[in-house]
């Protein structure tokens, strides 16, 4: 996100963490100032003050201090700063990894253009990068390409869009007016992430279920915290949103323990090793995905909290047992 070649790698990393903390606090509506930043492992008070001055109102104007609310927030034009950039691809290994990851996104409109861009950077065919690969994943539907391109055009112009949609729990399709924030790509499914005027909240929509997509005739102001990762990036369970942040506690047993210990599941995760089990505690807004994850572990995972989540897990297991007995 932030890269200034005149600074050390350590300072660039520290400033990126600082920007992320302010973005996240702003998305949650929390107060963040020098006092709350003291416990963020950003160095001494003098070091923190130096970085705040560099990217603050008197410096690069990436962040600003609200004197009325006594909190830091992002400057409305922060993305225009010369040091806010997509990290440059510095070597062929990085390009090879990018090429392999892109294989997951074939049949999407962005694929061909990105491949062309990579080849222009390296001045060689992308097929030369063949020694790094990812396992095959579900493919994206070619039928989504037209919808994807149309939404992307409207989205880049901050146009409100209207479409008919039947969600997972809807009995009939409904007319929706949405402010399109981002298009998300995950395991063969394209999602639109945006603000639903009827629900007065952010929602996700599966592209293949969207019908008669059209321009409403009005534009919207893109909020500073529009990105999915800022609002729901506290845990890493894919493209799913739940209204509230929830604290989960899960016990893992046997072979699954090693897998849990080796991976990063959430920003605030705490892993405790107890007799014959590994206990993972973390915060997330991706409830259904976590339930599916625990169920996939079979008898090697047991949720402990919150209680309503534990009850849902038990009900799912009971339903599975009924299927076995049939």
**What are the structural domains of the chain?**
9-80 (1.10.10), 92-128 (no CATH), 144-230 (2.30.30), 233-325 (no CATH)
263: nearest Cα among 285, 275, 278:
278
Q: Is residue 287 within 8 Å of residue 234, measured between CB atoms?
A: no
Measure the CA–CA gap between 198 and 216, rounded to whole angstroms.
14
Quick one: pLDDT at residue 309?
92
Quick one: pLDDT at residue 101?
65
List b or e across 261-298, with b for residues whose CB sees 16 or more CB atoms inside 10 angstroms.
eeeebbeebeeeeeeebbbbbbebbbbebbbeebeebe
Quick one: pLDDT at residue 126?
59
What is the mean pLDDT for each group of 10 consecutive residues in the chain (326 residues)?
A: 82 86 82 85 88 90 86 88 63 60 68 68 56 68 82 92 86 91 85 91 90 92 84 72 81 90 86 91 86 91 93 92 81
Per-residue CA distances from 158 to 180, 194, 235 (Å): 7, 11, 28
- Phi-psi region for residue 16, left (φ > 0), alpha (ψ -120 to 50) or beta? alpha
Quick one: pLDDT at residue 90?
47
pTM, to two decimals: 0.60
């Amino acid at each position: 996100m932030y890269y200034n070649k005149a600074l050390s790698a350590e300072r660039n990393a520290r400033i990126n963490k600082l920007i992320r903390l302010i973005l996240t606090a702003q998305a949650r509506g929390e107060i963040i100032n020098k006092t709350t930043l003291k416990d963020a492992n950003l160095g001494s008070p003098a070091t923190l003050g130096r970085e705040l001055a560099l990217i603050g109102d008197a410096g690069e104007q990436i962040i600003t201090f609200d004197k009325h609310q006594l909190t830091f927030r992002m400057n409305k034009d922060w993305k225009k700063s010369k040091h806010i950039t997509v990290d440059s691809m510095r070597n062929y290994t990085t390009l090879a990894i990018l090429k392999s990851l892109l294989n997951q996104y074939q049949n999407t409109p962005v694929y061909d253009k990105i491949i062309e861009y990579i080849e222009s950077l390296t001045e060689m065919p992308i097929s030369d990068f063949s020694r790094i690969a990812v396992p095959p994943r579900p493919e994206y539907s070619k039928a989504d390409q037209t919808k994807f391109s149309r939404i992307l055009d409207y989205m880049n112009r901050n146009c409100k869009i209207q479409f008919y949609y039947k969600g997972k729990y809807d009995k009939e399709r409904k007319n929706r007016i949405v402010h399109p924030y981002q298009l998300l790509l995950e395991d063969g499914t394209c999602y639109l992430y945006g603000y639903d005027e009827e629900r007065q909240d952010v929602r996700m929509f599966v592209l293949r279920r969207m019908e008669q997509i059209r321009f409403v005739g009005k534009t919207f102001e893109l909020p500073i915290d529009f990105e999915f990762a800022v609002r729901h990036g506290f845990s890493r369970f894919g493209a799913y949103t739940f209204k509230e942040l929830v604290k989960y506690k899960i016990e893992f047993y046997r072979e699954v323990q090693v897998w849990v210990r080796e991976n990063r599941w959430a920003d605030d995760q705490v892993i405790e090793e107890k007799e014959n089990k590994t206990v993972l505690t973390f915060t997330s807004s991706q409830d259904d995905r976590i339930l599916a994850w625990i169920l996939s572990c079979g008898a090697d995972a047991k949720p402990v909290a919150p209680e309503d989540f534990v009850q849902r897990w038990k009900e799912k297991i009971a339903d599975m047992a009924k299927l076995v007995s049939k």
